[in-house]
Amino acid sequence: MSSDIDPILRDWPYRPDEITVRVVEGEDGRRKIQLRLDLGMLQMEFDGRPDGRRIHDEESWFAYHQRRQRDHDAANPDGAPYLLEPEDCAELLREGVQYYHRYICFWHLGHYELCARDTERNLRLFAFVRGHARDDRDKLRFDQWRPYVTMMHARAVATPLVELEQWDAAAGVLDAGIRGIERFLEEYDQVEQAPRVGELTFLRRWKEEILSKIEAASGSAVDTVVATPDLVDRAAELRAQIELAVAEERYEDAAMLRDELRRLENDL
């Protein structure tokens, strides 16, 4: 069997303006995720580490260090805490990026529950590193992504609820995501930056839209929305932001902006 993947790539063209992902059946009979890139593709497992490896008989480096931390604490109840060295954090960061690639694929495939699983996993990873990394720079290297992953987790959990028109539950999920990002800003004394945090702005706007649907369902809201100049201007602004995000290959940002534009166009 040839190792050349050119035949696969020729039959599956790369499209730079979108995330191209699909599910295939592997030779082992299990489903695999394939993400098309400009120079090839990534293939990932549905469960466990995306690359399919096991680490010291554990599912991942994260699970391995969790086990070591539990063993350390049991053996040293009054001793020094378990610490992650910089090389440990480097392994955990590379692993976290694998889960990032996979949850983005799950999102675009519409596997929202699996996207929620992997985003929740990375949020727990960030908390573990915050609690155990020796170097504060390693803590920040992970934690800087907390607002984004919090937003993606809220989207993954809320989207199926919105599709089922479970407005109260969806609003509760978004509110939890909003509070999570607000706590992040408080911890880093950046509360004044809240209006400029795109993830927080997105979740707040979506929650407002859902609350308006709750009011409409209760008969207390107006049934129609007037296409005001502000709404029209916002739609134009979103289209420009989408074009810029695509040009800069920030595809997840573009997808988030497209979602907001679709909702706005429905109102218009």
Give pairs for 8-14: CB < 8 Å, separation 24+: 8/41, 9/36, 9/40, 9/41, 12/36, 12/41, 14/38
Going from the C-alpha of 163 to that of each of 131, 167, 189, 200, 210, the distances in angstroms are 37, 9, 36, 22, 12
Q: Quick one: what percent of the chain has pLDDT higher than 70?
A: 85
pLDDT for the residue 236: 66
- Output the pTM of the full model: 0.81
61-72: average pLDDT: 98
pLDDT for the residue 214: 85
Beta-carbon contacts of 188 under 8 Å, excluding residues fewer than 6 positions away, are: none
Distance CA 66, CA 59 (A): 11
Q: What integer best gives the mean pLDDT of the chain?
A: 89
pLDDT for the residue 245: 63
From 24-33, 153-162, 192-201, 219-228, the region with the lowest mean pLDDT: 219-228
Q: How far is CA 48 from the centre of its chain?
A: 17
Residue 252 has pLDDT above 70, yes or no: no
Q: How far is CA 76 from the centre of its chain?
A: 36
Phi, psi of 254 (to 5 degrees): -60, -40
pLDDT for the residue 223: 45
Residue 204 has pLDDT above 60, yes or no: yes
**pLDDT band with cut points at 50, 70 and 90 for residue 224:** very low
Residue 152 has pLDDT above 90, yes or no: yes
Residue 70: both structure tokens together: 């539990």
Beta-carbon contacts of 41 under 8 Å, excluding residues fewer than 6 positions away, are: 5, 8, 9, 12, 34, 35
pLDDT for the residue 29: 93
Residue 259 has pLDDT above 80, yes or no: no
Distance CA 253, CA 71 (A): 41
**Angle 105-40-251 from CA coordinates, rounded to 5°:** 40
156-160: average pLDDT: 94
pLDDT tens track for 96-115: 999 999 999 999 999 999 99
213 versus 186: which is more confidently predicted?
Answer: 186
Residue 145: both structure tokens together: 């992504």
pLDDT for the residue 231: 60
171-185: average pLDDT: 96
- How is residue 60 annotated by DSSP? S
Going from the C-alpha of 41 to that of each of 12, 100, 133, 220, 255, the distances in angstroms are 10, 15, 33, 51, 20
**pLDDT band with cut points at 50, 70 and 90 for residue 225:** very low
pLDDT for the residue 3: 86
- How is residue 111 annotated by DSSP? -
Residue 221 has pLDDT above 70, yes or no: no
Residue 247 has pLDDT above 80, yes or no: no
From 17-21, 138-142, 219-223, 229-233, the region with the lowest mean pLDDT: 219-223
Distance CA 258, CA 202 (A): 12
137-146: average pLDDT: 97
**pLDDT band with cut points at 50, 70 and 90 for residue 260:** confident
Q: In what order do the strands lie in the sheet with 21-25?
A: 21-25, 31-37, 40-45
Residue 202: both structure tokens together: 């997105």
